[in-house]
């Protein structure tokens, strides 16, 4: 069923033209204003006099605290940094429904204060516990009731997935897709679309928000043996002209038999990485974080690198609350995330990296081939440069399958985006990779995502963008 929806680009419900028109209409209809403000104007929030932690008066939502990190991974053995603490698990939920035999997903237009370009496309429900227990005294999130008591619904997936380990301390969200049967009310800022249509929107810069991307990335299309796949191929590609590269990505998603490494080998590799590297995290008061300075508008690293903490006042229509202040995290530069892919045994494999980040639940998570802030490495000595970064920056245009900018959660990050790339390497690209890297098929990636806490947010974001059509 998921596969059928992923291959459906135009349906009886809405054409792509109609979907773009709906987005544009929503953009026109929604007014918003977001203004950076000094911390002194940050209503409802305060720096704790003892710890310097930046927190909400209610003690809910999230706080900015400090961590002291010690690790033998990478080139910096110890550092301090601010980090977002949000112990609550939030809901990222999408309702889906069979319409004319094809699964459609209910997405909404939504503005968050940190968004680039205002409106983005969000899941049906995007709610922290503070949201849905109505700490901010706003309206109850729409469609919440389906997710609180999913009795008449069919659960397609329901997994805990991590957020960015570089800036969140062990934060997780509950990624859910529920199928509903009967009629449900669809308000004007909501729209049904297929997975294939969502895939097309993912080719636009900064349109599908991070929360939608992570939920979509968890969808698996099933596992099949070679015989079944041959059958499907004969049926699908009876016209030889259609037998193009994408067919191979379909194979990578579905083929449970052809891969460079078995699951036992990949799990052993992950086990080895978790045993080899140590990560010691000590929470410290924000005012004891070394090398970071607070002025009237920002908390910044003294070099100006990495990221800063700032504050905004936001006035946004069509939200539970129309006006509020909050802190946001702002990256110093645009990041770059990229998967290198290579056909191995007739099936596309992705070059996955085991990456340690301070907020990880379990030392390392699996990341894209390249995940970094490019400018941080401009002046690096060569051996400290991230592997494959130079390669990614110099590929030929015809190697690039996917190249867009995708933004991070606008409820926490201010105008943060990553250049997101999927790049096919040349035939002579070596199969041998450094010890912290491994080749996996999309089918294997989906299986690891299914079992939680293996793939990081950046990797899942790229995985969501892989089109099967």
Q: Which residue ranges make up the site for its own copies (CB under 8 A)?
A: 89, 155-160, 174, 176, 263-265, 267-268, 271-272, 274-275, 361-362, 450-453
CB 444 within 8 A of CB 259: yes
Work out how close the CB of 158 gets to its own copies at its nearest, in angstroms, rounded to a whole number. Answer: 3
| Burial class of residue 107, CB neighbours in 10 A (0-12, 13-18, 19+) | buried
Question: 168: helix, coil or strand?
Answer: strand
In which residue are the tokens 């603490």 written? 85
In which residue are the tokens 């100006």 written? 304
Work out how close the CB of 267 gets to its own copies at its nearest, in angstroms, rounded to a whole number. Answer: 6
Question: How far is it, in rounded angstroms, from Cα 428 to Cα 48?
Answer: 57
Q: Two tokens at 10?
A: 């135009």
Work out how close the CB of 441 gets to its own copies at its nearest, in angstroms, rounded to a whole number. Answer: 17
CB 53 within 8 A of CB 63: yes
Q: For 274-322, give the DSSP string.
A: HHH--EEEEEE-GGG-TTEEE-SS-EEETTS-SEEEEEEEEEESSSSSS
Work out how close the CB of 261 gets to its own copies at its nearest, in angstroms, rounded to a whole number. Answer: 11
Q: Closest CB to its own copies among 156 and 247?
A: 156
CB 12 within 8 A of CB 108: no
Nearest to 332 by CA among 388, 373, 361: 373
Work out how close the CB of 440 gets to its own copies at its nearest, in angstroms, rounded to a whole number. Answer: 14
Work out how close the CB of 280 gets to its own copies at its nearest, in angstroms, rounded to a whole number. Answer: 9
Contacts 24+ apart (CB under 8 A), 141-144: 141/320, 142/187, 143/93, 143/95, 143/106, 143/184, 144/91
Q: Closest CB to its own copies among 60 and 156?
A: 156
Work out how close the CB of 159 gets to its own copies at its nearest, in angstroms, rounded to a whole number. Answer: 6
């Amino acid at each position: 069923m998921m596969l059928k929806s992923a291959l459906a680009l135009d349906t009886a419900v809405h054409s792509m033209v109609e979907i773009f028109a709906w987005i544009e209409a929503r953009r026109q209809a929604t007014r918003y204003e977001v203004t950076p403000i000094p911390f002194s104007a940050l209503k409802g929030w305060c720096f704790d006099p003892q710890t310097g932690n930046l927190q909400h008066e209610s003690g809910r939502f999230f706080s900015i605290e400090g961590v002291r990190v010690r690790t033998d991974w990478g080139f910096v053995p110890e550092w301090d940094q601010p980090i977002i603490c949000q112990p609550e698990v939030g809901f990222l939920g999408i309702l889906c429904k069979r319409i004319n035999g094809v699964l459609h997903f209910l997405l909404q237009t939504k503005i968050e204060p940190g968004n680039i370009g205002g409106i983005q496309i969000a899941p049906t429900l995007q709610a922290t516990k503070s949201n849905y227990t109505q700490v901010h005294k706003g309206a109850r999130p729409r469609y919440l009731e389906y997710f609180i008591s999913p009795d008449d619904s069919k659960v397609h997936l329901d997994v805990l997935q991590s957020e960015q380990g570089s800036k969140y301390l062990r934060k997780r969200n509950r990624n859910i897709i529920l199928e509903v049967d009967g009629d449900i009310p669809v308000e004007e800022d909501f729209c049904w679309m297929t997975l294939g249509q969502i895939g097309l929107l993912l080719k636009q810069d900064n349109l599908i928000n991070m929360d939608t991307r992570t939920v979509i990335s968890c969808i698996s299309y099933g596992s099949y043996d070679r015989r079944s796949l041959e059958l499907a191929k004969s049926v699908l590609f009876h016209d030889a002209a259609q037998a193009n590269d994408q067919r191979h990505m379909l194979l990578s998603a579905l083929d449970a038999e052809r891969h460079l490494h078995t699951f036992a080998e990949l799990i052993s590799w992950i086990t080895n990485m978790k045993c080899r590297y140590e990560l010691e995290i000590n929470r410290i008061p924000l005012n004891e974080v070394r090398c970071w300075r607070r002025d009237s508008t920002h908390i910044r690293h003294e070099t100006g690198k990495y990221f800063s903490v700032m504050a905004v006042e936001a006035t946004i229509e069509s939200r539970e609350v129309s006006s509020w202040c909050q802190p946001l995290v702002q990256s110093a530069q645009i990041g770059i995330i990229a998967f290198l892919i290579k056909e191995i045994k007739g099936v596309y494999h992705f070059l996955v990296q085991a990456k340690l980040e301070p907020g990880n639940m379990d030392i390392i998570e699996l990341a894209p081939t390249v995940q970094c802030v490019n400018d941080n490495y401009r002046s690096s000595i060569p051996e400290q440069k991230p592997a494959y970064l130079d390669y990614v920056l110099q590929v030929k245009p015809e190697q690039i399958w996917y190249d867009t900018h995708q933004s991070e959660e606008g409820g926490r990050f201010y105008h943060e985006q990553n250049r997101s790339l999927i790049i096919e390497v040349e035939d002579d690209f070596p199969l041998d990779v450094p010890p912290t890297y491994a080749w996996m098929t999309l089918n294997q990636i989906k299986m690891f995502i299914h079992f939680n806490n293996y793939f990081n947010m950046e990797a899942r974001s790229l995985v969501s963008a892989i089109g099967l059509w």
